[in-house]
Amino acid sequence: MSRDDYTPTHCPSSQEAFRSGFVALVGRPNVGKSTLLNACYGAKIAITSDVAQTTRRRMRAIVNTETSQLVIVDTPGLHKPKDALGKELNRAALAELADMDVVALLIDATKPVGRGDEWVAGRVEASAAPFKLLVVTKADIAGPEMVASQLERASRLTRFDDSLVVSAREGFNVDTFLAIVSEHLPRGPRWFPDGMDVDLTDEELVAEFIREKALLNLRQELPHSVGVTCDEISWAKDGHASVAATVIVEREGQKGIVIGRGGSMIKRIGTEARRDVERLLGASCFLDLRVQVRPGWRRDRSEIRRMGLAVDE
């Protein structure tokens, strides 16, 4: 999804005042990029957890206001990769900096600004984006003194055109974020029509919702080893949906953990995921989850590509 793929669908009467463009959210893992995207969009579309590499798919969401159309890009957290999957996630995130109108660097208010943030800031500085915004997140968790300290330290990382403190969970300054970004988008038409909201398919979103529930329930046991594919969504004549999906792990022992005693864990994951899947599809559904072992899939680029997580050359 890029502006080159479409001709304008609607030109507001006050064309000079209308703005549209692309906004990238970048930063280290778990700084709140997906939470901010959900808050801007007004509904849950990106999965969240406190586990690194929660975001594996680059997601673009279209946010329309009366005077602007923003294509907000949620990128995987930039980190020091330990396997082929980590390298692909970094490539996906960095690739998004190539053609952005605004780049927002997110810094977690609850964690010290470190070398990882410096490295990400260097990539932001090197980007050609005309407007660069510093966003300090999680203001609802950090106290005022900590937030002020983080804002001061982060502002030294590179030159920013503006800065902002937000709490996406509480909705604090989310509208201000949208207003600041909209003001610095180029003047232009509404590129994407009403009804086009995200650039992931239903199958990709279903897989993400299931993986989120696996992360939340398995915690630190094997989060990075878990992948999910949605194999099929079918519809019955009565409007009910049937969804078949596969949870992928790297070893037989991990398969037992995901299934749980008597199938208790996979049942819990399915029950919790079904709520999000039904909301997405707008219908009740039967969710069939299976667990499959693919040894070392995170180190195999062909497997990563097969799961839709590789970046095109």
- The answer on 223 and 122 residing in a single domain is no
- The answer on 210 and 108 residing in a single domain is no
Query: Is 311 part of any domain?
Result: no
β-sheet bridge partners, residue 245: 230, 289
pLDDT at residue 20, rounded to an integer: 93
Give the residue from 132, 150, 183 where a domain finishes.
183
- How many structural domains compose the chain? 2
pLDDT tens digits along 146-163: 999 999 999 999 999 999
CA dihedral 203, 205, 206, 211 (to 10 degrees): 130
pLDDT tens digits along 20-31: 999 999 888 888
Would you say 107 and 154 are in contact if contact means Cβ atoms under 8 Å apart?
Answer: yes
| Residues spanned by the domain of 139 | 3-183
pLDDT tens digits along 11-70: 444 455 899 999 999 888 888 888 898 899 888 777 565 555 555 566 788 898 888 999
CATH number for the domain harbouring residue 256:
3.30.300.20
Among 83-97, 201-215, 231-245, which stretch is predicted with the lowest mean pLDDT? 83-97
- The answer on 220 and 154 residing in a single domain is no
Give the residue from 154, 183, 212 where a domain finishes.
183
Query: Is 169 part of any domain?
Result: yes
pLDDT tens digits along 269-295: 999 999 999 988 999 999 999 999 999
Q: Are strands 162-165 and 131-137 parallel, antiparallel or unpaired?
A: parallel
- The answer on 240 and 105 residing in a single domain is no
- The answer on 156 and 54 residing in a single domain is yes
Query: Is 108 part of any domain?
Result: yes
- The answer on 104 and 50 residing in a single domain is yes
| Strand ranges in the chain using DSSP code E only, listed in sequence order | 19-26, 59-64, 68-74, 102-108, 131-137, 162-165, 227-235, 241-249, 285-293
Give the residue from 183, 218, 252 where a domain finishes.
183
- The answer on 114 and 36 residing in a single domain is yes
